[in-house]
Amino acid sequence: SDFIRDGLINTGWRKNIAIPLLDEGMRVLKTAGIELRRAPGGSDVIRLRKVMRLLNTPGMDAVAKTGIGLLNPPRLAVSVFQDLKRKRPTEIDFVNGEIVRLAEESGCEAPYNHKVDLYPRQELRV
């Protein structure tokens, strides 16, 4: 998988999976009383969410796809893909699982994060 081509500029993935997951996670953190701050450097979940929302602006999606096509950057295989290829646990198991746990403790729901949590807590305890 190439995160930029197969994920970030894929309108369906962004609108139906990525943004709902991020929005839900941010809502759960807020409900749990956890303040999310920007991380130093160029990349964090807050910036990623802003970029994805910007790409949803009418016309920006086409601009991004054209730009990626012209620039033809190298494939970006994120660590999740590398872990899946090696059949190792991914950060998804920990990050999304923690969002689900926090949601349960805070009395709210996290259906998107629950859906991608590969190892629910009950299975980890066995």
Tens of pLDDT along the chain (126 residues) come to 566 666 677 888 888 888 899 999 999 999 999 988 777 776 678 888 888 888 888 887 777 777 766 666 656 556 777 787 888 877 777 888 899 999 999 999 999 999 887 665 554 433
Distances (CA, A) of 78 to 81, 85, 120: 6, 11, 23
Q: What is the pTM of this model?
A: 0.71
Q: What is the pLDDT of residue 71?
A: 66
For residue 76, the model assigns a pLDDT of 57
Q: Which pLDDT score is estimated for 43?
A: 67
- Are 96 and 106 in contact by the 8 Å Cβ rule? The answer is no
